[in-house]
Amino acid sequence: NLRLMALNENIADPEYVKAGYIFNLTQFIYWPRNAFNFSVSPFIIGLYGNQKIDKALYSNFRNKKIQDREWKTEIYQSPESIRHCHLLFISGIATNERRQLISSLLNKRILSIADNLDGFCQLGGMINLVGSNPNYGFHINLKSLKNEKLAVLPELTELATLID
């Protein structure tokens, strides 16, 4: 169960639950080989907007690998600064910034995951965590994932609300 795998000692803190969701989502999505420069390249998690999840990521992901790779985080301040990451977690950005951000990610093989951003998947974002702690769900835009050559296991789509 995707929700139950997000648990740790900080279950009351929504950032820890979201970090668990992020880790679990990476277990159901596969990046093409050319998304990584080398066989030992780390899996890069980008943070855009509100970065309060940073501490929770380190706690939840400690001693874990993503796609059999070490991982690290990068913080981005503008869409233009996003050069190379594999997953971008987007939180707390204004509505008028979303469209520009999503278009800046095209053809970069970056999984975009938003934190409760209205209309995110409808604008072309890939996954939007919705709801409130501890009852999160998620929306998925399969077309956006496929356009970026990211493969999704069917078990994940069965748990999501699909958005066109």
Averaged pLDDT of the chain: 89
Q: What is the pTM of this model?
A: 0.91
Residue listed under structure tokens 């233009």: 80
CB of 103 closer than 8 Å to CB of 63: no
Q: At what angle do helices 54-61 and 14-26 cross, to 10 degrees?
A: 60
Could you read off the pLDDT of 13-38 as tens digits, one per residue? 888 889 988 999 999 999 998 899 88
Could you read off the pLDDT of 103-137 as tens digits, one per residue? 999 999 999 999 999 999 999 999 999 998 878 89
The answer to whether residue 95 scores a pLDDT higher than 70 is: yes
Specify the pLDDT at position 11: 62
Distance, CA of 137 to CA of 69 (rounded, Å): 27
Specify the pLDDT at position 128: 97
